[in-house]
Structure 1
Amino acid sequence: MEAEESFEAQMREAARVDAFEARQALGRIEEQLFARAPKPVTLGRYVLLDRCGAGSGGVVYRAYDPRLDRKVAIKLLEVRRARDRARDAAALREARAIARITHTNVVAVFDCGFYDEHDLAVEALDERLRGIPGRGVYVVMELIEGQDLREWMEERPRSSRAILEVFVAAGRGLAAAHEAGVVHRDFKPANVRVGLDGRVCVLDFGLAQLGRGRGRARKRRVVGTPLYMSPEQHAGSPITAASDQYSFGVALYEALTGARPFTGGVEAIAASKREGRWIGALGELLSAQQEAALRRCLALRPEERFPSMEAALAELERRSGALDWRARLAIVVGAGVLLLGGAVLGTVALERSQAREQALQCSGGATRAQTVWNLERREAVGARLRASGVSYAETTADAVTRELDDYVARWSAQHRDACEATRVRAEQSEAILDLRMACLDRHLREVGIVVDTLLESDTEVVENAVSAVGALGWLGACEDLDALGSRARLPRDPLARAEIEAGFGGLAEAKILVAAGRYDDGLTLASAVEDEAERLDHGPLRGAAALRRGEAMAGRGAFEGAEAALVDALVSAEAARDERLAAEAWLTLAWVRGVERHEPERGEVWLRLARAALDALGEDRRLEAIYLHNLGGLRSAQGDYRASIVEYERAVELQRALYGERDPAVAQTLNHIANAYMSLDEMGPAWTHAERSLALRRESLGEEHPLVAACYNNMALIRDAQGRHEEALELIRQALAIVVGTSTQREFVSRMIAAQIHEHRGDQAGRVEEYAAMIALPDELFPFFIERRELELEYAQLVEAASSSASSEAWRIEPSGASSSK
């Protein structure tokens, strides 16, 4: 009878699971047949977003709590059989116990309970959410964006000091759990989270048990991860807080030495621990006191370890025989020598000496920067630019060297500040220091790429030299923890990691090449990196390469191909959940489609998606400035010039705050504002903005730079519209003096404006002359809205009209002459 009831219970459970899975399958089929977007997957009030990991006995999902407007992590512990209900209840009790722990180094638990398929609202699941258990226990926890401790250790080489700092923080989390009567039982690097802000948290108490006091625990089956298990765990003996201490010691030893201390199967690992011969010397990694403390954590018998986690951490935090200043002062006071001021002053002097020594450790940034930008390379860049022979070479050389001087000085200052924030002021963790230094290293490599490009510059590079320097990475990103944390995760394999890092380095060079006007070279390099990313099957690198390919094609004017490349970038960004890459791709796509290809309605859609991506990403002032600029361009393309001006003004305000008044982006946006005012026939403010743009460009680029001609073009049109045709003619002649003979589209545009001014002046001969010059230009220099056949037809009509006018004039004069002769 009992067996029959058990069988029936199992059948009922199986039926419930089958029904749940059937609902998921039907939802997927309905989605495919009717192209209907699936509804969100919810568990109670929580909206499940995607799977973000797996832990002991369960799966973890990123989720959203609409009631409190925050993202959370939800762990689902699956239970399929009725006999597991006791485990459900135990897991629930443990989750509630952990929820009572309030400590910065323990992940917070917000909610927990039972659920079944009726609590899940599921119609169709995408690949990221499939496999949700149909029933079990749910635990709602704090979401800590970042990486686990193993990933943190493998990301780049870490100093023993940085490793110890992170482990001590994790140990404090364990100590807090022990104080609450909770033993973790599965402490390991994968169960420690290092947040983007450097905060360290112990999590995944899925194997934890509630102790009856910190020294007692009943015997249970063998649980844990063999590599980190204590000897008593291997033996199936009672597990206490001392067991966590041993696991902590194994993980710390592994992190410091960079090698796993055990090999073989579970039995071989257990035997090595019993013999105790696996612990090697740590040399200079720790002080003698710290090494002794670690060895005590790894004692074979629990009673030989520290009496508590707090006691272990106190020893590990000690430096070799050195007491802090408070301890020294206490000794001085306790010895009754307060009158011996020399002793106190000596202590203070020692502290100041140590502070100076720490500050000196942070002075190496300037030396590193000189490897890529020093006096010799500075002079070589200036000489190369001046040797180009272009009329604005001198101004460009001065501007480029000045901007590089300023950038490298700011880089050095930020390098020192990042170091001192950890080493001197102790207001920043080693983890954050590592992130900031890695970011600064990437930017310094970009400086090297810019300098190398300038040292090989041709006329095209000289024209775009200031823009190339302006393309250097924004240093503010190295202080933005959200931006730093969103960097693509690299694989653990050293060879694959090196290949991917080399790929990103190639894309940095492609970005500089595009900014320098070497679009073909940038395109070739980006395409090669994209092929390599495909071989490595690394989505973030593939997406970044497609973005650079799109930018290069847009620079060449191949907007259709650019749009296709940007869509490729978006696909990779969405697959890799790279929100920053997605935002950049949407922004560029909106400009290409809406402004360059003159389809503002479609551009509006892309820009709305860019806005959503930016909101999801969080504050990024650099991308926000691009968004406002592109929104202004889109509004102008839609004919809403008033709205265009508003957005351009917001963009230029942010550009000034980010880059300074002299940055080329500021002058460009001011010129756009002038264009919008011209379209509104408001020539006063149009002139003001065009004149300011001209002044900035003449100062930063030189009197005869091609971009200065664009300002003269606008100012000539303004004066022509005001009926001040002679002033307009003088301005357009200044533009023509710059662009004639450059074989660029700028020459066509300036000649077209000159022809219009001649028409308004009544100078038909001058108009015919400009038309003839435009027709002589090759087809690739014609703007998209001008057809050669139409231009040639207009030219023929002008010539005919001019001939007729000349004949008519001759006819009127000749009779008069005959009459006179008569």
Structure 2
Amino acid sequence: MPSRSEDELAETAAVTPGTGARDLARTTTAGSGAAPVADRPAALGRLRLERVLGSGGMGVVHAAFDPDLERRVAVKLLHASSADARARLLREARAMAKLSHPNVITVFDVGTADGTDFVTMELVDGITLKDWLGTAKPPWRDIVAAFVAAGRGLAAAHDAGLVHRDFKPTNVLRSHAGKIVVTDFGLSRAAEGDVDPLTVTGAVSGPATRTMTGAVLGTPAYMAPEQWTGASVGPASDQFAFCVALWEALAGGRPYRGDTLDEIKTGVLAGPEKLPRDAIPRPVRAILLRGLATDPKRRWPSMHALLSALERRLARRRRVISVAAALAVGTAGTVGLLATRTSGGACSPPALDPDTVWTTARVDAIAKRDPDSAELLAGDVDGWRRVRIGACDAPTRERSLQLACLDGVMARIDVAARAAETDVPGVEGTSSLLVDPALCRHAPPPHLVTAIDPALAGALGQLRLVRNGGKPPSTLLPDEPCARAVALRAQLATFDATRMEFSDLPAMMEHLKEAEALADRCSDEALRAIVLIGVAHTTAPKDDRALAAVTAVPQDDLVAEADLIRGRAARAG
């Protein structure tokens, strides 16, 4: 049997476990049992039906006018009134009705009129995200910004306890004014649930970019490993589909390709380690690779955290580092530093001179072995210089607090640069050690240690290694409170990432208790927030210590993790 094109492998199919590929049924075209559009009535109850916006196996969507409320709406009409079809329509309407968010399409009504089941919703004057990508050919930053908006809709669904299960570019609409909304929640379910595994061999008879319904839910080209294997499906599954779709938009092709479902499944289960990644812009490459991890626990802790990472890359507009650029950075740094030392005549020199931290030799060495970390560090060094110029012009009280904060930021840059120069490459681990220089403009700025001793540097190195997917090289814990707290935090991350035996639980609980106590003794507010967030992620969060700690260091990645903790606490009651 001839294989199908990759475009066909991203459309909707309906299967149940054990069916062969040739049983896959197309459902996105009106020809699969639908009445011809010409046979549709011109009215449905009080609604006046207008043009057809789209059609699928489940139904057809019309633009319509509601004369009672004097507004134009979109109305989805079911092709048939089977029990399964009606249940899915009601499920979609109820799921979207739970959400009130600018990036989720609004549902107005659901019911039956003239013998036809329908749901009315917001009418978006625009096209699907897939069509926009194909026609507008936007630059990569605009693509990421559009997906971030769609991701906010997914995050809102997760906060409401829902999992979309079928996120893809054709299920996102973009208005001509640029508004992005996620739609088609027909496969959504309450977060976390097991499904039967999908077993399909042979060539694809139905496209795998079409949505699978029945016991297996999702679109094969965007399905997470756990959807293929029948494991628990949760928000991390939507995160995987989001990263597949964004990868496809940026690279012009999906990360896992194949002409058969088996080929796609094999690639997905093999993981992202060997994926060709040159077509993905470097600033977002590591972010997507983490979201594509085979193990859901190795992905981002939430959509909020993933979106925060993407937004941070967009906001900082990092550039690729080369030896020539490094020299330019050094020259600019000398000029900037002179300005900060002379501004107002009252600005003391920094505890660490950035020209001795971010040297040409170090830039070159890091850029060769870990270019993503090089870009990240260069952006923070440049940001540090800009913020320090402003700090030197601040009133005396604010100036001293801001300069002390900036000394703490540079101390972290130094530790992160040393680690990136010698340890396992990984931008996420590097990012976990840094504090955004812009936070030093806050009132008051966070209190940070301004000198990092070898014990704390070693503990931070362990945390960086764990964030990059490794394990702490030693179980020995330092005595200094901050260093010991961070080292315990690194070991807690290892507990999170593995399947623990019952015998491991006492050790983990001891780690939790000690980490909490030490975090309260640590004089560094950023380290305290990191440790308490780790504790809250490991246990059912019942207090507000982690959330309060983040308010002192409102950095985007920490705020995103705090939002996740807050959502978990709300669902736990």
The reply to whether TM is greater than 0.5 is no
Which structure carries more helix by proportion? 1
Q: TM-score, normalised by structure 1?
A: 0.32
Which protein has the larger Cα radius of gyration, Structure 1 or Structure 2?
A: 1
Q: TM-score, normalised by structure 2?
A: 0.45
